[in-house]
Structure 1
Amino acid sequence: MSNNNKQWYFNTVTEQPELGPQSPINQRMGPYASEEDARNAWKIVAQRNKEWEEQDTKWKNAK
């Protein structure tokens, strides 16, 4: 079993976690370390986007 099969992915079509890269690459997010993280993929994406927007704003204001 390759290392990829021990990681979790989130299928954006079925909105279900998958162990290993089962779905086509354009239908999945990840990898995630756990099934729980994969289930929370949309929350993780939203939090990361918020953090990146805040960092981007700070960077733009520092010019």
Structure 2
Amino acid sequence: MSEPWLSAEEIATHLGVTKDTVYAWIADKAMPAHKIGRLWKFQASEVDSWVRSGGTGGK
């Protein structure tokens, strides 16, 4: 079965950050996101891999 698409609010909750942080990461840090119409959608596995590879620029 395929992985569900998550909203910006859901991925923010998943990562423990705000929606504003998610949008900033999309714009500034190439966070993996897919724009569907006016909405951003995310796959948790893609985002988790991005975080693990240092995509947030955090420590």
> If the TM-score is normalised by the length of the shorter chain, which range does it land in?
under 0.3
Q: TM-score, normalised by structure 1?
A: 0.26
Q: TM-score, normalised by structure 2?
A: 0.27
Which has the larger share of strand? Answer: 1
Which has the larger share of helix? Answer: 1
